[in-house]
Structure 1
Amino acid sequence: MAITPVLLGSRNLFTSPLDNTSATSRLQYSVNAYTFNDLLKSGEMSFFDMMDFAASLGLNAVDLTGYYFSGYPKIPDDKTLFQLKKKALQLGLNISWTGVRNDFTNPDKTARASDIELIKNWLQVSSKLGASIMRIFAGKGKYEGYTKDQVKSWMVSDFKECAEYAEEIGVIAAMQHHNDFLYTADEVIDILKRVDSEWFGLILDIGSLRQGDPYEEIEKLAPYANYWFIKELVYVDGVAEPVNMKKIATILKDTNYTGYISFESLTDGDSKQIVTSMFNDFRSEYEKG
C-alpha cells in the first residue's frame, strides 16, 4: 500500500490522535554537532561540552554526528555510548539524532554495499543512544557514464534496504537533501514516494534548497518532514541571504509540525552566539500570536 505524506510526518508518527496539546508546547529544540565542526575535530570541544551548552541555552536535545566519535566509521564501544546517555539524562536532554556519511550516487555497487553496512551498524548505535532518527545522504552527484534516472533507480533500492533494517532496529533512517544530488523539493518527494516506507524519512534542510524561492520549496517539503535543520542562511535563486524566521515559523505552524527542529550554524564566528541568536529569533517569531 502506498504511503501518503501524512504518514511521513513525525507529528503523526509520534503524536497520539487524542493529544490536544498546542503545537507551541510540543515543538522541541536541538543543536547539530556540525555547528562545532572545527572545535570537535580539534578536540577543543567534546560532546559533553556540547551537551552543557545545549542545556544552558534551554534546548531539549543534541544531534550527535557519527564522524565526531573517535575511530569513526568504526562504531564506539558501549561504555562510550552509555556515558553520553548518562550525561544527557543528568542534564535533562534527549539524544534525538545521529548521522553518518554515505554516497549512494556511487556507481560502484561494492562501495554502496559498504555504505549500507555502515548505515546498519550506526542504526544500532542510534538505538543504543536512544535516538529516534538517523541522518543518511543521497550522495555527491558524481556518476559519470550514467544518467540521473539510473542513479535514482539504484539509490531507491539502497534506501529501501536501509529502511527495512531501520524498521527492525526501531530508528528511522532519514535522508537529508544536501544540495549535492537532489536539488529541488519535487526530486526529494519523488524519492520518498518511491522508497515508500514509514521507516525512511526526511530531514528538511532549509539551507539546501537553492533553486527558485526557498520558502516555496520548504513549504512543499514540510508535510513530509520528520526533522528540521534551521540555518542562518537560505538561498534565493542561489544567492545567500539571512533566513526569515517569521516565514519558517509560519510554515511550521501551518503544517502543525510538533517534532524536533535543530539549529546548525555554517558561517564564521562564535558558533555558540550564532546558535543562541537563531534560537531566540526563531522562538520569538514562533510564539507570537
Structure 2
Amino acid sequence: MDRRKFIQGAAVVGAGTALTSFSPMSAVADPKKIKKIKHNPIGVSTYSFWQFNGPKEEVSMEFCIDKAAAMGFDGIELLLVQMSSEENGYLQKLKKQAFHAGLDLMGFSTHQGYVSPEKSSRDENIAKTIHQIELAYKLGIPTMRLNTGRWGTSGSFDELMANKGIESPLEGYTDDDAFVWVIEAIEKCLPVAEKCGVVLGLENHWGLGRTAEGVKRIVDSIASPWLQVTLDTGNFLENREEQIKLLAPQAFLVQAKTYYGGGKWYTLDIDYPKIGQIMRDTNYRGYVSLEFEGNESPETAVPKSLEVLRDSFYYEL
C-alpha cells in the first residue's frame, strides 16, 4: 500500500508541475521579440460636431461631451468660441460632466492674433490670451492652442483658403516685423502659463504659422518649456510629411483632420499610418485630437475617424 500511495502521489505532483510550468510563451522561440504596444489616447474637438454651422447653442458643450463619451473617445478638446459662458460655475459644471463621463478635458482651442503694427492691438490680445490661460487652469486643461494671427489683407477667410493661406503684409511692413511682434507678445504670456501649468501650443495655422519653418522660428527663439507646438495635420497644404517631421519633436498635442463627405474648404488625402510612424519615430505618446472638417454627418464620420486614428497612432512599450 505504501508503494502504491507513493506512485499515485508522484503522478499527481508530476501533473501539477507540468500544469504550472506551461505558459503560452513557452511555445514562442524568443519571448523577448514580442512587441508590446500602447495606443495614443484619442480626443475629439467640439468643433468636429459644430464646424461653425449654425448657432453654437444648437451644439452645446454638454452635447459634445455626451457624444464623445458615447463614441468611445478618451478625451475632449474644447473650442472656446463654442462655449456658452466663461463663468466659473459653467466651467466647473463642464469639468464635472466630463469626469463623470470618463473623459479628459485635454485641450483648449483659442483664438488670438499679434500680427499688428498697433501696440494697443497687440496688448489687447496679450490680455486676451492671459485670460484664456486662466480659463484653461480653471478647467484643469493642461495645454492651450495658440495662433500667431495674420495680416488680414485677404479679405474673407474663403479668399485666404483659395490662396492656400498666403497673404501679403500691410503696406510698409514685412513678415520680419511681424515675427518680432509675435515673439514679444508670447513672451509676455509665458509667466502666467507657467504659473497656471498650461503649456501653450503654437499651431501651424494661417499667418506666420503657415509653415513649419515659421512655427519653429518663433518657438526656437523663445525657447521655453511652456511654449511647444500644436501640430495640425490638415494645415500643411504642401510638403505635408516633411513639414510634420520638422515639427514632430516639439509637438505637445496633435490635431488630426479628416474630410469624409468632402472638405468644407478643401479635401486632403492624409496618410495617417505614415504620420503615425513619424510620431513613433519621435517617441510621441501624447494625445491626438480629431478635428473633423468634412460635409458628412458627424454621427457617422466621427466614429469612422476615431477608428482610423486608433489604428494609426500607437507606440511600443
Distance 1:197 1:41 in 2: 38
For normalisation by structure 1, the TM-score amounts to 0.83
Please point out which of 111, 119, 124 is paired with 1:101.
111
In the other structure, the counterpart of 2:258 is 232
Residue 122 (1) aligns with residue 162 (2): no
Please point out which of 137, 154, 170 is paired with 2:197.
170
Q: Superposed, which structure 2 residues align to 1:203-214 within 5 Å? A: 203-211=230-238, 213-214=239-240
> How far 1:82 moved relative to its partner?
0.7
Q: Which runs of 5+ in 1 are unaligned?
A: 1-21, 234-238
> How far 1:40 moved relative to its partner?
7.3
Q: How many residues align?
A: 259
RMSD over equivalenced CA pairs, Å: 2.2
Identity, % of aligned pairs? 26
Distance 2:302 2:109 in 1: 20
Identify if the C-alpha distance between structure 1 residues 124 and 286 changes in structure 2 by more than 3 Å, giving closer, same or farther: closer
Distance 2:174 2:314 in 1: 46
Residue 51 (1) aligns with residue 78 (2): no
In the other structure, the counterpart of 1:41 is 55
Q: Which has the larger radius of gyration?
A: 2
One-letter amino acid matched to 2:105: I
> How far 1:268 moved relative to its partner?
1.2
Distance 2:80 2:101 in 1: 21
Identify if the C-alpha distance between structure 1 residues 249 and 166 changes in structure 2 by more than 3 Å, giving closer, same or farther: same
In the other structure, the counterpart of 2:40 is 27
Please point out which of 279, 283, 287 is paired with 1:260.
287
Q: Which runs of 5+ in 2 are unaligned?
A: 1-34, 153-168, 260-265
Indicate the SS of the match to 1:105: coil
Contact 2:234/2:257 (8 A) holds in 1 = yes
Residue 244 (1) aligns with residue 258 (2): no
For normalisation by structure 2, the TM-score amounts to 0.76
Residue 67 (1) aligns with residue 81 (2): yes
> How far 1:42 moved relative to its partner?
4.0
One-letter amino acid matched to 2:232: D
> How far 1:190 moved relative to its partner?
1.4
> How far 1:159 moved relative to its partner?
0.9
In the other structure, the counterpart of 1:156 is 183
- Post-superposition Cα deviations, 1:192-250, rounded to whole Å, max 9, x if no partner, equal 10111111121001111123x201111111101000010125xxxxx843211111111
> How far 1:286 moved relative to its partner?
3.8
In the other structure, the counterpart of 2:249 is 223
